[in-house]
Structure 1
Amino acid sequence: MSRAPGADLPEDPDFLWDNPDPKPAYDVVIVGGGGHGLATAYYLAKVQGITNVAVLEKGWLGGGNMARNTTIIRSNYLWDESSGIYEHSLKLWEGLEDELDYPILFSQRGVLNLAHGLQDVRDSVRRVNANRLNGIDAEWVDPGQVKELCPIVNTSPDVRYPVLGGTYQPRAGIAKHDYVAWGFARAATVLGVDLIQNCEVTGFEIVRGRIAGVETSRGRIAAGRVALCAAGHSSVVGALAGLELPLASHPLQALVSELLEPVHPTVVMSNAVHVYVSQAHKGELVMGAGVDSYQGYGRRGSFHIIEDQMAAALELFPIFARAHLLRTWAGIVDVTPDASPIVGLTPVQGLYLNCGWGTGGFKATPGLGDCFAHTIAKDKPHPHVEPFTLERFVTGALVDEHGAAAVAH
């Protein structure tokens, strides 16, 4: 079922997207059908007016990291550059359900980052002040206020890591990850974008330093411009175009419990005990921690990571001692030396790069899509992503967010 570009969203709520065969040529080809690829295609068509666009996905749409993340959305990053892109994204999240005309279950239940030591307190207060200077809602809360925000947190002083307070961002929250992917895919399809599944990119055609086409498992596709949104496999895909990227890919594990009655009202994170916990819409507890230390592309990780994060969760939430683990999974995160993304132009003319989001990709989905679409259309980085170009690893103008990414969230 094909639709004219710019047509209204279909009245049939069950319609999601078409599954066309690839055309011989497109103005823009996007490699990667996850959240970032789909959002970029949507904003290219909606905002930039470029509708002759194909999104190529080697598996199924939204089946990679988009389906494997833990859905936390926030903008309380330390540095101006990071808070700029994440706050831009959060503002788009706040109106995204209406814009896409699709239920993404965005719940602004707040995010609470706990402090357990004096240095934790100093760093947390510093971040609150930096957030406020950037117009971001952030506040410091003492242990009593922590207990008010989340009554099930153990705030007793007689524990290994007592809660000394925390930072709180009220506008932060969670959304339903697969609904977000489906909403962007549905809207992009209606605007004329081709979403092509089971189409693996196997190479790039580069003529006199400029991109000319993409080789795929379904044949060659000519392209005026190509955008890479391959997340954990970005270094592999980039190498096909001769790019050597400063990325390390690691498995990142998470887990969910059995379904429980509503008991956990917000999102709680702790770097000291190294865990974060939220409760999904259906009722399961969603928990995660840090990446596996080894590099690889496998979607499962080490058992000790699960064991450690379960122990950490029980330190904060003794009430969960008898909860049962339902399932675990892993995604593949691509991490840069400064724990900040890479977005912008490449040495190959007409080839654009979006990678290195590490553990922060989901929360950036709409903001990155908007800014990356602008970058592709104008052949110039959007102001919000200009600090994150590949050249910073030559100039030394790094945006070090290791503190913000110490726990995967």
Structure 2
Amino acid sequence: MKKVLWLCNLAFSDQAIKGGSWLQPLAEKLQQSNKILILNISVGNVSKITYTEYKGIKQWILPQSKQKQYGQTATYKRCKEVQNIIESEKPDLVHIWGTEIFWASIYAKGFIKTKTLIDIQGLLYAYTDFYLGGLTINEILNTIHIKEILMPWRNLFTKQQIFFKRGQVELRYIKKFEHISIQSQWVRNLLQQVNPIAHYYPTRILLRDNFYTAQPWSYKNTTSPIIFSSCAAAVSYKGIHVLLKSLALLKKEYPEIQLHLAGKIMVGDKLQDGYSIFLKKLIKKLNLQSNIVLLGSIDESNIIKELQSCSVCVIPSFIETYCLAFAEAMIIGVPTVTSYTGAMPELATHEKETLFYNSLDYRNAASHISRLIKDQALAEQISQNARKRRLQENAPQLVLNTQLNIYKSILYEI
């Protein structure tokens, strides 16, 4: 049986999954298929290389340590740690998940001689152009506070430049790969401009089990609608400021409307990030204090509850290579209002499975949200179509077969 060694940011366990939520269920299904063996190397809070097994999957957890170039370039020691495991286990294929940290550099430096596939998740160099999220110069200046004065590298302009520098490192590594899997045609379009000779493999995303079996969304006839949105953390390109402006318009029509925001919106403990302070002041300026509920980081079951209880889910991001939050909302059947950007149009069709708006156009976004609140027939039609599409395109067996076929194509060079 062929062995595939994963290099990813997640150590598999029974604990709640915080990031890369599709990876563990996919690894489990691949292992259960009895067609390949999965091995996994990750990084975690350990003092030395730790070997564990999870549901028959061998895994090694490497100690967290400072790497080079914003964490994207592995030290010689880290390269040798990974190389030693590879030489010991002799996998038939190495599968690298993402370019955000140092895994790709280990291959680019020549420490991995085995056939290697890299899966592209985010694209830092492409995100650079959208980093500021359409903020005006005046709004950007209003994100500069004590933290940004004491630590100038924390202001949005410098953060954007850091993204650019990280993107250049990312590009240098991507050019080295022969086999690249992509989650959208949009990603493929960009990568073929920088690595036209690579072999590209469209992949699919496996959602967490409970999203497939959860009770679908149902229409709420209410004058106090709930809007749901989420982001891992408050960063400008996630577009929360645009959504707040939409909410202010909607409040005129629905005074009791609420926006439930999941994720770490107020970033920083003793000193909050300037963008978080900007959002707080914008909420006050727009008189939305009583209309916002900050949920913080919530787990899978609470995400599902929020989706089931809201009237509309809004995806306001300025850039996405796929968008798991969009897919999760669709499979629950929640009507969505979505920023038309990046790979988003590949997940849904306007007026059929979502309502799209230009990323900056908060007025049109507000209009779309209002339509879905008021028009039960439209909301239910979009709900049914969205759920049907996700159940088809994210069907577990289809996702599994797609991944197995990618491995087969590379291993046997079909």
What is the TM-score of this pair, normalised by structure 2? 0.29
Q: Whose helix proportion is higher, 1 or 2?
A: 2
Higher relative contact order by CA 8 Å / sep ≥ 6: 1 or 2? 1
TM-score, normalised to structure 1, is 0.29
